Structure 1
Amino acid sequence: MESFTCKRCNTEARDGAQCSVCHGRFDFPCSGITESGYRKLGDRKSTWKCPSCKGTASPSVVHGKPGSAKSPVLTDIDNIALDIKRLATQMSALPALMSSIKAIQTDIADLRSVKTDMADLKLLKPELEAVKVSILQQRFQQLESSLHDFDQRSRMNNIEIKGVPVSSTEKLFEIVAKIGRHIGCPIPKEQINYIARIPIRNDKHSKNILLSVQNRYIKEDFVAASKKYSITPTDLGIQGDTRIFINDHLTRQNKMLLTKAKSLARERGFAYVWVKGCKIFVRKSPTSHALNIISEADLRKIA
């Protein structure tokens, strides 16, 4: 399948959806529709619209005095409607997941029923039993992959801040505000959904800061701006000599995949490994193509 550049995240992808209005091509994480959902559209693919074109509504016009003209603006109701549409798009994967779970439950019940009847079990050919087990394993793997993708999508607006010393008197909103001023990319308090300390695996004494903002673009700008600076606690008026890192909030599985990609990239002479939009990329040189690492199978691309 011919690769293309996603219109939203501007990265190379192997498969995705094409908008019938703006004719842009999007990878599935940016399209707002799952791969299975898009396949099920059939002939309706020709009328599919990307979130931007689908969410476009006729803005209400604010009228002033006669003779005066003001630019159209979206009302609060329009903004709420757009947010609901985006949420509905993100939740579109749930029916497919529930259907897969029910199918697996049915297969498990059938398998248990067969095993309880020893007479029938003796008549069952080993080849058929092996095929059934193989199908069940494939369905579990597909479900596990779908659940992981949904988990990562739910973190698209999250920022993970590592290296800020824990204090009993700390104020997390102030810490984020100081970081924003230091990197020249402040986040208004009203744009923050929640902020909290989260435990680190295998480290009982340290906790990262998890920050959730209202949209992924605020998150991406904040993370990108932080990469231009080497931030330490003293830059924030806090005692400590550790370095502070600001990253996308990856799942544990993707964090392990990122570690493996970095290690292999060093061995094979790849100059760049980075994360954007919760997706892992590698590039051998400034002029080579960026490679998207989605699973361990993709690590073979690093050669």
Structure 2
Amino acid sequence: MPGDGTTPERNEGSETGAAGVGTRAKTAALTMEQLAQMMVDMEGRLTKVLSKANSATNEKINKLNSAVKDLEKTHKDKFSSMEKSHGDRFASLDMKVLANDASLDNINKEFLEMKSQIVELQREVNELKSAQPVMSDGSLSELNTVKEELEDLRQYTRNRNLVIDGIPVRTGENLSALFLRMGQSLGMNIDPNEIEAIHRLPTRNINTNRAPTIVVQVKSRPLRDNFVSAAKKKRFTLENIGQFESCSGNVFVSEHLTPFRSRLFYEARMMRKNHGFKYAWVKSGKIYLKKDDDPGSRSVEIKCMAKLDHLKSGNH
């Protein structure tokens, strides 16, 4: 048995098998020779066919050339005869008439050129008129896109800012200490180093009694978001901040919006008040409206005044 260390039995059919392999190899070799010969024969036939076709084509070309030359000669002879028969008649024409004819020909030529130019200009004007609406729409769309990107960039520079409204101005006030004290009342132990900048905005209307807004920039956006969220839940008043016990009034904390988005948020709140919307809010610098608490009611982002007009028309 194979693998037990004994010598395998001799296969009597092995010689016969080897002979069969040799015969098949010889047959295969003959077949390759035959194929090679067939390819040579086909190349020869193809060469003959191409040669015959080229010969026939050249013959046709020569015949056509000959016919063209004959036709040219016929017309040339005919025109020569006409010129000769009418030469004297043309020579006898009055030179003034010839000059007038030449002048009329020039005028007619100029008129045709001007007419052609007018037609071409009219065509260009029509093309411009047809393309103008498309160009205007495309330019307007591109302009709106650029405006949105610029507005997003302006808002991005404020993504670590918050604003505080309703805090009266005090002589020698320490706004950083005020902010830290507000954080403590919210249960937030804020490191003073987390405050990068804090100041009041300039007052544009000197006749107003409204206290200037306080702008705070912190080192991280999560800190800003957590402070704003906690302040909205607490509903700050001057009484619970400390040092303003003698004063009364609400204190408002919110994200710092660009002037455009501040105006847009005001219009969104008016929309909520006057057009049946239940919610208007800001999150991460974006303004949203929502109709009600119905599961099918979705939040709508407000990017421009046109969106508010669209909602006013009933397209929710």
- What's the TM-score, normalizing by structure 1? 0.53
Q: Offset of 1:291 from its aligned partner?
A: 2.0
- What corresponds to 2:303 in structure 1? 294
Per-residue CA shift, 1:105-161, capped at 9, x if unaligned?
Answer: xxxxxxxxxxxxxxxxxx984737787676655544433222111001111110011
Provide closer, same or farther for how the CA distance between residues 135 and 268 of structure 1 changes in structure 2, counting only shifts above 3 A.
closer
Per-residue CA shift, 1:202-259, capped at 9, x if unaligned?
Answer: 4565311110111211111100101122322232212432321000001111111111
Q: Offset of 1:272 from its aligned partner?
A: 1.4
Residue from 166, 171, 176 that aligns with 1:173: 176
For 2:190 and 2:226, the matched residues in 1 are separated by: 10
- What corresponds to 1:237 in structure 2? 243
Query: Where do 5+ consecutive residues of structure 2 fail to align?
Result: 1-122
Per-residue CA shift, 1:69-115, capped at 9, x if unaligned?
Answer: xxxxxxxxxxxxxxxxxxxxxxxxxxxxxxxxxxxxxxxxxxxxxxx
SS in 1 for 2:307: helix
Q: Is the 8 A contact 1:179 1:186 kept in 2?
A: no
SS in 2 for 1:207: coil
- What corresponds to 2:13 in structure 1? none
SS in 1 for 2:288: strand
Question: Does residue 159 of the first structure (1) align with residue 168 of the second (2)?
Answer: no
Q: Which amino acid aligns with 1:193?
A: E
For 2:191 and 2:213, the matched residues in 1 are separated by: 21
Provide closer, same or farther for how the CA distance between residues 275 and 232 of structure 1 changes in structure 2, counting only shifts above 3 A.
same
For 1:155 and 1:301, the matched residues in 2 are separated by: 28
For 1:283 and 1:138, the matched residues in 2 are separated by: 27
SS in 2 for 1:275: strand
Write 1 or 2 for the structure with the bigger share of helix: 2
For 2:299 and 2:148, the matched residues in 1 are separated by: 23
Provide closer, same or farther for how the CA distance between residues 135 and 226 of structure 1 changes in structure 2, counting only shifts above 3 A.
same
Q: Is the 8 A contact 1:232 1:240 kept in 2?
A: no
Per-residue CA shift, 1:38-57, capped at 9, x if unaligned?
Answer: xxxxxxxxxxxxxxxxxxxx
Provide closer, same or farther for how the CA distance between residues 124 and 242 of structure 1 changes in structure 2, counting only shifts above 3 A.
farther
Question: Does residue 224 of the first structure (1) align with residue 229 of the second (2)?
Answer: yes
Q: Offset of 1:179 from its aligned partner?
A: 1.1
For 2:198 and 2:302, the matched residues in 1 are separated by: 29
Provide closer, same or farther for how the CA distance between residues 154 and 282 of structure 1 changes in structure 2, counting only shifts above 3 A.
same
Residue from 246, 268, 274 that aligns with 1:267: 274
- What's the TM-score, normalizing by structure 2? 0.51
Alignment of 1:49-88 (within 5 A): none
- What corresponds to 1:247 in structure 2? 254
Query: Where do 5+ consecutive residues of structure 1 fail to align?
Result: 1-122
Provide closer, same or farther for how the CA distance between residues 279 and 203 of structure 1 changes in structure 2, counting only shifts above 3 A.
farther
SS in 1 for 2:212: strand
Provide closer, same or farther for how the CA distance between residues 138 and 294 of structure 1 changes in structure 2, counting only shifts above 3 A.
closer
Q: Offset of 1:260 from its aligned partner?
A: 1.1
Provide closer, same or farther for how the CA distance between residues 203 and 137 of structure 1 changes in structure 2, counting only shifts above 3 A.
farther
SS in 2 for 1:256: helix
4+ aligned runs moved over 6 Å, structure 1: 128-134
Q: Which amino acid aligns with 2:187?
A: G
Q: Offset of 1:185 from its aligned partner?
A: 2.9
Per-residue CA shift, 1:253-295, capped at 9, x if unaligned?
Answer: 1111111111112222222111111111222223442222222
Q: Is the 8 A contact 2:176 2:195 kept in 1?
A: no
Sequence identity, in percent? 27
Provide closer, same or farther for how the CA distance between residues 161 and 186 of structure 1 changes in structure 2, counting only shifts above 3 A.
farther
- What corresponds to 2:87 in structure 1? none
Q: Which amino acid aligns with 2:173?
A: E
Provide closer, same or farther for how the CA distance between residues 269 and 134 of structure 1 changes in structure 2, counting only shifts above 3 A.
closer
Q: Is the 8 A contact 1:185 1:221 kept in 2?
A: no
